[in-house]
Amino acid sequence: MADCLTLKKSNCKNCYKCIRYCPVKSIKFSGNQARIIGNECILCGHCFVVCPQNAKEIVDDTEKVKVLIQSGDPVYVSLAPSFIANYDGIGVKAMTKALKQLGFYDVEETAIGATIVKTEYENMMRDKSRDVIISSCCHTVNLLIQKYYPRELMYLADVLSPMQAHAMDIKKRNPNAKVVFIGPCLSKKDEAQAYDGYVDVAMTFEELTKWLAAENIVIDKESDSNDESRARFFPTTGGILKTMSNIVGYEYLAIDGVENCIAVLKELEEGKIHNCFIEMSACVGSCVGGPVMEKFHRSPVKDYLAVANYAGNKDFPIDSHDRIELRKSFSVIDKKSSMPSEAEIADILRRMGKNKPSDELNCGSCGYNSCREKAIAVYQGKAEISMCLPYLKDKAESFSDNIVNNTPNGLIVLNEDLEVQQINKAARKIMNIKSASDVLGDQIVRILDPKDFMEVLSTGKAIRDRRRYLAEYNKHVEETIVFDKDYRILICILRDVTDVETVRTKKENIETQTVEIADKVIDKQMRVVQEIASLLGETVAETKTALYKLKESISDE
C-alpha cells in the first residue's frame, strides 16, 4: 500500500470526524492522534475531504514529475476526462498548451483508455462466461473487494483500468515514453505505484493547479469539441454504461458511493444478484465527485453537465489490443486484524461503562457505528476507551458530582439572571432546604440577599472569604463568589463558620468576664491596702508621739 496520505499531527484536534466518515474504519487513534492503517485503507479520501482542520494531506508528487521531465524522455499526460468539470470552460487543447509550457511532451485524454476498457467489457459480456461482472475502473472499489469482500473477487472484471490501458497504449506507440496521470483521485496514486510498467506518476488537479500558479501559467479560457469522444462520460455515475452496447442477457446497474457498493457486495454474497453488469464507483457522482473535486470544486449538477456537454456521440478511434495484454489480476489483501472473543468484547464494554445492553447507546460519537464495533476496535488497538463521549460525560459528572456533593462547603451556581442552576447538600443544610428541586430555577433572592452577587456580576471582581451573618438562618459563613466569564456563571462557596464563631464569641465573653472579675479584685485589694495603710498611719503617729514624749522626759531628767 503506497503512502498516499500524510497527517499533520499539530492539526489533528481529536474530533473523530475522520473515523465517523471512514466507511471501513481504517483509522487508528493513539495518543490523541489519528493514524491511517495502510493495510486496511481503501483510499476513498473521505478523511481528507471531511477533516475540519486539514490534518490529512495528499502526498504531492510534483517534484517526481519534474524529475521525469528533466530525464529527457518524452513525458505524456494522461488527462482524466473530469478535467472539464474542474477547469470550467477549458477544453483539452487549452490544457495541452498550458501543460506543454510546464515541459510535458504531449497530452492525451484518459478517455482513450476508457474506450479500450469498455470494449473489453463488451467482449466479456458477449462471451457469456460470467454471471455477474463488476467494473474494475475504480481502484478504491477494487481495494474494497480485495480487502473486505474477497469472495466477490470472482465477479471483479480482470481488466486494466482506463488509466492503465491508456498508459499501455501510449507506451506501445512510443516505447521510451513516460506517463503522468492527472485527475481528481487519491487512489490512482496507489494504483500507479502498485502496478509497474503502466503509469509512472499520478497527480491530482490540485497539484497541477498549484504548479501552474507557481510558474505563472494561465490556462486559456477556451473550449473545443470532438464528436468521437463518447468515453468522456466515464467520470459520471452511469457513464461507463452510457458508452457500452446493450448486450442481451445482462441487466445494467450503476452504483456510486462506498456505502452503496458495500450494500451491493453483501447482496452478492447472499446470492441475490444474477446476470448483471455492475458499474461501481466509490465516490458519489463517480469521478467528478472525487476527493479533490469534492473538497475544492464540489458542484454535482454543474460538473455532470460539463462532462455531458463535452462528451461526443461516438467512440474514440483506438488501435486493437490483444485481450491478454488487457488482463489484470486481483489477489486477496490480508488485513491481519484479529477478532476478540465474546468474553473479551464484554469485558471491554464493561470498562466503557456498558454493563447491560441498555447502556449501549450506539450514539456514534466515537466514530464507530455501535458500542460493540468500538469495543472490537479497542481490542485491535485502533481505538481507546476514552473515545466514548457518554462514558467520559458520565465519568466527569460522577467525579464532579462526587466532589460537589461530598465537599463540606456549600456550593451554589447561578446564571447571569441570578437563577439557581445548582446547589449542593452542604448549602441546603446551611439554609434548611430539603431538596434542590425546591430552589432550582428560582431567583437567588428567594434564599439569599443578592447584593454580593450583583456586585461581582457588575464589577467582575471576585469576593473572597467575606464574613457574613445569615440572620434568617442564624448562620455565620465565609462567602466566596466568582464569576466565570467563559461559561457566564456565578459560583458561590459558603463555608459554615457558625461553630467557630460560637466558640470565638464564648471565648470573648470569658475574656470579658475575666477582665471584669480581675478589675473587681484589684479594686477590693486597693481598698484593703488603703485601709491597712490608714490604720498603719495612725499607729505610727501615736508611736512617734509617745517616743517624742519619752525623749523629752529623759532629757528633762
Radius of gyration of the chain (CA): 44
Q: Say how far apart CA 300 and CA 444 lie, in whole Å.
A: 56
- Residue 310 phi/psi, 5° resolution? -90, -25
Q: Say how far apart CA 483 and CA 467 lie, in whole Å.
A: 19
Q: Buried (b) or exposed (e) across 217-240, using 16+ Cβ within 10 A?
A: eebeeebeebeebbbbbbbbbbbb
Residue 547 confidence (pLDDT):
56
> Taking 60 as the threshold, does the pLDDT of residue 2 lie above it?
no
> Taking 90 as the threshold, does the pLDDT of residue 369 lie above it?
no
What is the full DSSP assignment across 504-517?
Answer: HHHHHHHHHHHHHH
Per-residue model confidence as pLDDT tens digits over 100-152: 999 999 999 999 999 999 999 999 999 988 999 999 999 999 999 999 999 99
Q: Could you tell me the three cell numbers for 316?
A: 474514440
pTM: 0.74
Contacts 24+ apart (CB under 8 A), 438-443: 443/417, 443/418, 443/419
Residue 490 confidence (pLDDT):
95
Domain 340-406 falls in which CATH fold?
3-methyladenine DNA Glycosylase II; Chain A, domain 3 (1.10.15)
What is the full DSSP assignment across 197-209?
Answer: TS-SEEEEHHHHH
**Chain mean pLDDT for the chain:** 90
**SS in 3 state form for 107-172?**
EEECHHHHHHHHHHHHHHHHHCCCCEEECCCCHHHHHHHHHHCHHHHHHECCECCHHHHHHHHHHH
Helix 205-214 with 62-70: angle, nearest 10 deg = 70
Quote the percentage of the chain above a pLDDT of 90.
66
Q: Could you tell me which residues are beta bridge partners of residue 466?
A: 479
Residue 126 confidence (pLDDT):
93
Residues 498-524, mean pLDDT to the nearest whole number: 79
Indicate the CATH number of 408-496 among 1.10.3720.10, 3.40.50.720, 3.30.450.20, 3.40.50.300.
Answer: 3.30.450.20
Per-residue model confidence as pLDDT tens digits over 372-398: 998 998 898 888 888 877 777 666 666
Domain 1-59 falls in which CATH fold?
Alpha-Beta Plaits (3.30.70)
Residues 308-337, mean pLDDT to the nearest whole number: 91
Per-residue model confidence as pLDDT tens digits over 149-189: 999 999 999 999 999 999 999 999 999 999 999 999 999 99
Quote the percentage of the chain above a pLDDT of 70.
94
Angle at 258 between CA 252 and CA 263, to 5 degrees: 65
